[in-house]
Amino acid sequence: MDKDRCLDLSSKFLEMGNSLMNEGQKNKNYSIVQSGTILVLLGGLMLDQDDMQEFMSLCSMFSSKKILDGIDDESRVNLIDYLKRKGANETYESFIKRINKLRGDSGNTLG
């Protein structure tokens, strides 16, 4: 484990998280506040590899439960089918480009 890099990333996540929480509180936007909270959590997790692994296991279980819960829901079946088809051959970069296009950006920005 590269301790210096983990410390660097931790401080960046904490800084971004704090900034988003302040912005969300100022604008009374709960989603932005919670996004900041998640980044603060991630900043803390970067400092302990075991905690990160345990958190990722919990996230995987949560995702699996959501997928299983959605299988019986007809309105979600189409979404699950879409994700199965697209997820197998789509990269993060192409997913980010699609999100940017939905926002009206050129879709070329990755960061």
DSSP string, 55-105: HHHHHHHHHHHHHHHHHS-HHHHHHHHHHHHHHTT--HHHHHHHHHHHHTS
Q: What is the pLDDT of residue 52?
A: 92
More confident residue, 31 or 83: 31
Confidence of residue 89 (pLDDT cuts 50, 70, 90): low
User: Is residue 12 in some structural domain?
Assistant: yes
Question: Both 3 and 35 in a single domain?
Answer: yes
Please state, in angstroms and rounded to a whole number, the distance separating the CA atoms of residues 111 and 104. 16
pTM of the shown model: 0.60
Give 3-state DSSP helix, strand, coil % of the chain, rounded to 5. 80, 0, 20
Residues of the domain holding 44 = 1-62
Question: Both 55 and 78 in a single domain?
Answer: no
Length of the chain: 111
User: Is residue 42 in some structural domain?
Assistant: yes
pLDDT tens, 31-80?
999 999 999 999 999 999 999 999 999 988 888 777 666 665 555 556 55
Question: Both 6 and 53 in a single domain?
Answer: yes
Give the chain's domain count: 2
Whether residue 93 is predicted with pLDDT greater than 60 in this model: the reply is yes
Q: What is the pLDDT of residue 36?
A: 97
pLDDT tens, 11-39?
999 999 999 999 999 999 999 999 999 99
Query: Do residues 39 and 16 touch, judged by C-beta distance below 8 A?
Result: yes
Q: How many CB atoms lie within 10 A of CB 45?
A: 19
User: Is residue 67 in some structural domain?
Assistant: no
User: Is residue 54 in some structural domain?
Assistant: yes
Query: Do residues 104 and 96 touch, judged by C-beta distance below 8 A?
Result: no
Q: What is the pLDDT of residue 72?
A: 58
Question: Both 98 and 78 in a single domain?
Answer: yes
